[in-house]
Amino acid sequence: MSNFKFIKTELDGMFIIEPTVFEDDRGYFFETYRYDEFKKGGIDVKFVQDNQSKSKKGVLRGLHFQTKKPQGKLVRVISGKVFDVGVDLRADRVTFGKWVGAVLSAKNKRQLYIPAGFAHGFLVLSDNAEFVYKCTDFYDPENESGIIYNDPDININWPINNDMKISLSLKDLKLPSFKEIF
């Protein structure tokens, strides 16, 4: 029996992953990653770098990708809640320019695997969120790129409500549109 449920999304290679959580009155335990089970589930990659960030409500990071050294990412939230998005940038696919989003939280313990060749971004929905992710290639600032979060051609349905003030970095505010890159 696997300790993970791999849920295929509409985008080939992108999965929502639900771990089996062992819980009792003392707390809980679950595996966050196990190579052999991920391989059986359809994710046969090598991770080389782990990252962690903390952000406040309304912070929107992305949509980021690397041009020459694309990164696959296994993402999860260890405190709080985010809306996480992957956008297929593989020009040879029928899903080119399409996106999938999922709510990830410390409570639901879901993870999202976003393959290499995708853009990635997330919006913090809780007061604060700590976000951790594994990468299949090293961060390379010379090859970093991105697409503006509100691109009309991609048309992501971000769950932005009236009491939420969106906060973007200066770099993310200046990102080009999908059509300007592709």
**Each residue of 18-55: b (16+ CB within 10 Å) or e?**
bbeeeeeeeeeeeeeeeeebbeebebebebeeeeeeeb
Q: Tell me the catalytic residues.
A: 64, 133
Element (H, E) at 135: strand 128-135
Beta-ladder partners of 118: 88
Q: What whole-number distance in Å separates Cα of residue 53 and Cα of residue 58?
A: 14
Q: In 3-state terms, what secondary structure has residue 142?
A: helix
